Amino acid sequence: MTSNPGNSLATSGGPVSFLLMPASAGAPQPGDRDRHASLSRFPQPPLVGPADGPSSGTCKAADLFRRSALAWLDGRLDTGLRYAAASTDVECDESHEACELAPYWHITLLTKARELEAGWRMLTSLEARRGKPQSPRMIATSQVIGGDLKFAMGRVDDGLAEVDAGLRLAEQHSVRSLLPIGYVAMALGALRRADMRTCLQFVDKLAGEAVLGYFGQSAGAWVTAQATEARGGVDSAAGLIAGIVTNPPVLRQLMVSEPAAASWLTRAAGKLGADDLATTTVTAARDASVEHLQFSVIRGAALHSAGLVEEDATKLLEAVNLYPDRWCAASAREDLAALLTKRGADRDNTVRILESALSTYSAVGATRDASRVVNKLRDFGVRRGTIRTLERDSVLPHGLTNTEFAVAELVSQGHTNSEVGRQLFISRHTVAFHLKKVYQKMNITSRVELAASWKEIQ
């Protein structure tokens, strides 16, 4: 067994380390008055900054709002949702704008629980009741939270466009506490589309917000680890992966925040040969599931991670059937197909499972994941087309093909052929072949010329 990568954390210095430092405050349980004082240790209320929140203890609605956030921060999504629902039913005594934001926090938690229909009903109800002119904070919050909900529902283009609009407004008006939620969504969306330039831009922004102590560190750390792995391989992300898994508060919060996190961390730990990290992740996912039996997405995530470690096809299939998140269900199908392939199971059944995963990945705009499945299908002699490109206009410059465009985009960003191949799931020799075609069509001879010409195209 290999040693735990956590013994030599790559995240021990630099701004990314702040992503692994959540607040050290426990969540008060309903009726627990003795822990009311812990509210004062809460670093930043969700969606509002320290100067915008009501003074502690003066408003019941604000108190419930804060208790909801503390519960979620402590890994109790169920308790957080109960407090969030209660906060929306209590009228604010002092007309705090922070209390007006409480329904959007409720929607945020419903999104994390993948209670998507309930979240959508609440969002449409809020929009229907909108009366007086909205402040920039309220507009930005509505766009970021609404867009994040749409992204989770599989309405990727609409969702990310709305998140982006909300982030621009939030940045313009210094609504800093809203930014981490939006940055995570934008980074994850860009990663799934193989748009590493955009992904890394938002990862950098996440690190900057974490330094300032704003809300949402665990999801930011996870997205950063994914981006690092996508760019440089799993070994380059080993320190951050170990930092997440060996930090109980971060891992606990992550298990109730990002349903794809448990399986990704388990898979990454397996690639690193770090069985202890994989086991810790599976245990954390199982514990979260036991505490949240009412949420099928958390139960599905626990079964998915356990199925990977135990190589249990039944658990992977159960995860597929439980997940309300379409991307997660496709991921579980892909892992199930990999296990069946390893066992030499029925070829036609395995191909059907992969084709189902491909269809879902394509439907939710996950072109990077779709490309990976296309290559797996080719190993079975099945050829399926997919677009490996980044988000772009329909007409490609210089008559480039989809793959040539994707290669040129990544090479212009300074990636090596091996890095490009890793991100597009093709060999470095295939990258070199397409790059040669790019040079010919663009009438250039070097990467320097490509970078300069590509800048003009963009």
CA dihedral sign, ordered 282, 287, 290, 293: negative
**For the segment 157-192, what is each residue's pLDDT rounded down to a tens digit?**
889 999 999 999 999 998 888 899 999 999 999 999
Give me the pLDDT at residue 1, please.
Answer: 41
**For the segment 111-170, what is each residue's pLDDT rounded down to a tens digit?**
999 999 999 999 998 887 776 778 898 899 999 999 999 999 988 888 999 999 999 999
**Listed range (355-359, 373-377, 387-391) with the worst mean pLDDT:** 387-391
Mean pLDDT of the chain: 83
CATH architecture of 397-457: Orthogonal Bundle (1.10)
Give me the pLDDT at residue 213, please.
Answer: 53
Rg (the chain; Cα; Å)? 22
* Residue 443: CB atoms within 10 Å: 9
| DSSP tag of 260 | T
**For the segment 4-23, what is each residue's pLDDT rounded down to a tens digit?**
444 433 333 444 445 555 44
Q: Alpha helix locations (H) across 179-274?
A: 179-192, 196-211, 217-232, 238-245, 248-255, 261-272
pLDDT band at 418 (very low <50, low <70, confident <90, very high): confident
CA distances from 445 to 136, 440, 448 (A): 49, 8, 9
> How confident is the model over 92-115, as a mean pLDDT?
87
Residue 261, classed as helix, strand or coil, is helix
Whether the per-residue pLDDT at 389 is higher than 60: the answer is no
Cα 27 from chain centre: 24
Whether the per-residue pLDDT at 304 is higher than 90: the answer is yes
Whose tokens are 């069946």? That residue is: 340
Residue 195, classed as helix, strand or coil, is coil
Q: Which residues contact 195 (CB under 8 A, 6 or more apart)?
A: 390, 391
DSSP per position, 307-364: HHHHT-HHHHHHHHHH--SHHHHHHHHHHHHHHHHHHT--HHHHHHHHHHHHHHHHHT
In the chain, what is the straight-line distance between the N-terminal and C-terminal CA atoms, in Å? 48
Q: Alpha helix locations (H) across 28-155?
A: 60-73, 77-89, 97-100, 102-112, 116-129, 136-153
> How confident is the model over 24-39, as a mean pLDDT?
39
Burial pattern 394-425, b for ≥16 Cβ within 10 A else e, equals eebbeebeebbbbbbbbbbeebebebbbbbbb
Question: Do 150 and 114 touch, CB atoms closer than 8 A?
Answer: no
Whether the per-residue pLDDT at 54 is higher than 70: the answer is no
Give me the pLDDT at residue 321, please.
Answer: 95
Distance CA 421, CA 37 (A): 53
Q: What percent of the chain has pLDDT over 70?
A: 81
pLDDT band at 39 (very low <50, low <70, confident <90, very high): very low
Rounded to 10 degrees, the C-alpha dihedral 163/299/264/207 comes to 40
pLDDT band at 385 (very low <50, low <70, confident <90, very high): low
Give me the pLDDT at residue 20, please.
Answer: 54
**For the segment 344-359, what is each residue's pLDDT rounded down to a tens digit?**
888 999 999 999 999 9
pTM of the complete model beyond 0.75? yes
Distance CA 422, CA 419 (A): 5
Q: How is the chain split into domains, by residue range?
A: 227-309, 311-385, 397-457
